[in-house]
Amino acid sequence: MKISIIIPVYNEKNTILKILEAIEAVELSDFEKEVIIIDDCSTDGTTEVLRKLDGKYKIIYQERNQGKGAALRRGFDQATGDYILNQDADLEYDPADYPVLLEPIKNGQADVVFGSRRLDSSRVRNVYKRYLWGGVAVNTAVNLIAGVRISDIFSGSKVFPRSTLSKIHLRSRGFEVETELTIKLIRAGYRILEVPISYHARTIAEGKKIRPADALRILWTSIVSRWQT
């Protein structure tokens, strides 16, 4: 089987090589790895770093900055794997957790696997309490609005069959894509299992990009996604 690892990148020149090294280091005996990087029109030198890797990885350069959701969707369109795995480029999510994410897929326990930051607090480092509790509050609100029960809807670690993309239509352009993807996978009838993963949140100074305004888009997406296909 093949796993397509989709990496949206925006202004990550200090971390992109490290995350790629970590991905290369992960042993996946039952999966061939396909790495797809989407540079969302970076302005900090990330593009120049990636140009040196052309040919080693499949790299897509967005013509203009469009957001995480738009970058992921572009990557999904280019994927050829049996499964898709989302991976942020900022080192908050550890590729060493890939075997944990893929094990329920291999043993038939689930169709879709989410890495959850809520299931084992000992593996999570949160820099800002306001982000932690704000995320929990919005997650709870989305669960209530959409009628779902997921502990970590906004996790950047998700594995799902590429075939699901023929059954759902994603529209989101920003961080709200995680909410839209979750709700539509559930509505399409896929079995979702959450597993604990490691998470090391970075600071705003280090480049943390999500902002309180994103919560409003997430809540709106949770409402409209209940009725969209």
Q: What is the pLDDT of residue 158?
A: 97
Cβ–Cβ under 8 Å, residues 218 and 142: yes
Where are the extended beta strands (E) located within 40-155? 58-61, 83-86, 112-116, 124-125
> Whole-angstrom Cα distance, residue 170 to residue 158?
15
Nearest to 53 by CA among 92, 2, 9: 9
Tell me the sheet residues that pair with 159: 85, 113
Average pLDDT in the 158-177 region? 95
Residues 6+ apart with CB under 8 A from 189: none
Architecture (CATH level 2) of domain 2-224: Alpha-Beta Complex (3.90)
Helix, strand, or coil here: 44?
A: coil
Instruction: With cut-offs at 50, 70 and 90, classify the pLDDT of residue 115.
Output: very high
Q: What is the pLDDT of residue 226?
A: 79
Average pLDDT value for the chain: 92
Domain ranges of the chain: 2-224
Average pLDDT in the 175-196 region? 95
Give the global pTM: 0.93
Length of the chain: 229
pLDDT in tens, 40-58: 999 999 999 999 999 999 9
Cβ–Cβ under 8 Å, residues 207 and 11: yes
> Hunting for tokens 């709106």 — which residue is that?
220
The answer, yes or no, to whether residue 229 has pLDDT greater than 70, is no
Q: What is the pLDDT of residue 190?
A: 96
